[in-house]
Amino acid sequence: MRDSARWPSRDPLSHRVSTTPDRTALVDAETGVVWTYRELDSYANRVARELRERVPATESGDSAEPDPSGNSAPRIGLLLSPRPEFVTTLYGAWRLGWTVASLNSTLPSTNLETLVDRAQLDVLVCEGDTVSSTRALELPVVQCERLLTDEPESTTSGRPQPGEGGEMAPARWDADETALILFTSGTTGDSKGVRLTLGNLTASATASAFRLGVTPGDRWLCCLPVYHVGGLAPAVRSVLYGTTLVVQRSFDAEETAGVLDEGVTGVSLVPTQLKRLLDAGWTPSSALETVLLGGGPATDSLLNRAAEAGVPVYPTYGLTETASQVATARPEQAREHPGTAGQPLVCTGVTIVDTDEGEPVEAGQTGEIVVDGPTVTRGYLDETRTDEAFGQWGFHTGDVGYLDDDRRLWVLGRRDDMILTGGELVAPEAVRETLVSHPAVEDAAVVGMADDEWGERVAALLVREEKPNERLSPEVMRQYCRGRLADYELPKTIAFDDELPRTASGTVDREATRAALRQPEN
């Protein structure tokens, strides 16, 4: 008999279509196509049949070794942008009980091949723009444009009709079976393959709803890459909520501003995207209620600009390993307590532990952020990494921060990014906050660089604000920081650039930052 504690369930779309079949499910910002949940479910069924027919060798899952959760189902890789075919393929695969790995569509073929091997994929679904990067891969490749056509050589145009042939019985999922694999951005080392379950994704959607609020008329815009949890999560949450998902192939400041003005109530952005929207002169419509801002810290100047423009910003801290949000600040809290990520979400436990002893510290004391709760991954593809990441208090994030007396979370940076200079430990984020408080500094990245005398030295790459009366130089910035920072925290190397180097997820690329700082000071 099946253990009832394992919570057998169907994919979220199977539940949703039986509840609100005629509610609007999906809007394609590029074509204007609108699908109801009944239509989306029908397309997902048809994609499931197409996948099963086109990849018969993987139907039994024999080619995949069971992952640590015991799931030996076929594994399908998605090399797609935010588009309707991403959603139909995601739910079509889950309808079959297959595990989905959403992959970085910008990777060169050699890096992509590494991820395909690590995830032990059986089939890859790509789109026209990503076909070329799959040619060297030794596994079946299907173009998403052909999944909803009778003729494999043709390309779907306009609005296809729902598939025929009756309903497909959805697969049953256990709570601890791996449904989704996402790879971390790997800014501090090799990317890690994170295993997420439908239980993780459902718990994350539930906790987010308590913090952000949900109404039946909500329309959430997805313009982030769907190989990151911040871009993929709305495709799951909207279906669970029964709200509308608006998909845009990629972010473009002017085009995205236009889409946001078409009744969108919520959007996930990284700070760079929000800045570009504001630089383009965008002001939010009255319909917009939530801008979930994550993927890295936002400067006070950016948050102030957003507040002046009436943008409802919710700063958030989250990870792939926690299926997105850990803590989120509401706009009024962000204004009253600049820099905080807010309190942890419901049922999410956050403990700050001493980085040496691993024991909890008191409020206000700095340590590693450890997270526990139903959103936390069951582990990585590599079980050795899983064992290293979990401890008595939960999942060790590798991030450093503290909780204040009201349990507001403050994130100071990566543990691996802490700078040890002359025996003193420096938190890069604390130095960064001082630098960006200068009225002529738009943004900053702070890293440690090798130093013969000090072991490491504090180094900073700055982006200037467009202020004609302000002349910045390294010495001007050092003078500004004196009295605001301890002597050992003062940046010994300072350089300027037009923008900070970033990864695809919007986080600062620290190695590229160091490379820029090795250039002569300017």
pLDDT tens digits, one per residue of 346-389: 999 999 999 888 899 999 999 999 999 999 999 999 999 999 99
pLDDT tens digits, one per residue of 102-116: 998 877 777 888 899
Residue 520 makes CB contacts below 8 A (sequence gap 6+) with none
In a domain, 48, yes or no: yes
CA distance 134 to 123: 11
pLDDT tens digits, one per residue of 210-258: 999 999 999 999 999 999 999 999 999 999 999 999 999 999 999 999 9
Number of domains in the chain: 2
**pLDDT at residue number 246:** 98
Q: Going along 320-408, which residue ranges are E strands?
A: 324-328, 349-353, 367-372, 379-380, 390-391, 394-403
In a domain, 41, yes or no: yes
In a domain, 207, yes or no: no
Look up the CATH number of the domain holding residue 459: 3.30.300.30
Give the confidence band of 73 by pLDDT, cuts at 50, 70, 90.
confident
User: Token digits for 220?
Assistant: 């959430």
Q: Does the structure show a pLDDT above 50 at 20? A: yes
Q: What is the mean pLDDT of residues 395-418?
A: 91
In a domain, 247, yes or no: no
In a domain, 120, yes or no: yes
Q: Does the structure show a pLDDT above 90 at 305? A: yes
What pTM was estimated for this model as a whole? Answer: 0.83
In a domain, 459, yes or no: yes
In a domain, 339, yes or no: no
User: Token digits for 172?
Assistant: 């049953």
In a domain, 182, yes or no: yes
Place of tokens 């997805």: 222
Q: Does the structure show a pLDDT above 80 at 69? A: no
Task: Provide the domain limits for residue 175.
Answer: 4-18+34-157+165-196
Alpha helices in 323-451 (DSSP H): 331-336, 383-389, 428-436
User: Token digits for 419?
Assistant: 């700078």
Give the confidence band of 167 by pLDDT, cuts at 50, 70, 90.
low
Q: Does the structure show a pLDDT above 50 at 404? A: yes
Look up the CATH number of the domain holding residue 182: 3.40.50.12780
